[in-house]
Amino acid sequence: MNLPEAGELLAKEAARYTAMGWMRGSSGNLSVRLRDEPLRLAVTASGLDKGELTAADVVEIDSSGAAVGPGVPSAEAGLHARIAAVSGARAVVHVHVHAPVLAAERWPDGVQLRDMEMLKGFGRSAHDDLVTIPVVPNSQDMVVLGDSFEAGHRADTPALIVARHGLYVWGADLTQARHRTECLEWLLRFIMAV
Ligand SMILES: CSCCC(=O)C(=O)COP(=O)(O)O
Ligand SMILES: [Zn+2]
Distance 27 CA to ligand 2 centre (A): 6
Q: List the alpha helices (DSSP H) in the chain.
A: 3-19, 77-87, 98-106, 142-152, 174-193
Ligand nearest, relative to CA of residue 47: 1
Domain 3-193 has CATH 3.30.70.260: no
Residue 94 annotated as lining a ligand binding site: yes
Q: What is the pLDDT of residues 142-176, one digit of tens each?
A: 999 999 999 999 999 999 999 999 999 999 999 99
CA 27 to chain centre: 12
Q: What is the pLDDT of residues 85-131, one digit of tens each?
A: 999 999 999 999 999 999 999 999 999 999 999 999 998 888 877 99
Give the largest Cα separation in the chain, rounded: 47
User: Any idea of the CA torsion for 47, 50, 53, 55, to the nearest 10 degrees?
Assistant: 100
pTM equals: 0.98
Q: State the chain's mean pLDDT as an integer.
A: 97
Q: Is the pLDDT of residue 182 over 80?
A: yes
Distance 175 CA to ligand 2 centre (A): 20
Residue 96 annotated as lining a ligand binding site: yes
Give Cα separations from 172 to 32, 72, 85, 143, 159 (angstroms): 9, 25, 13, 23, 13
The identity of residue 115, as a single letter, is D
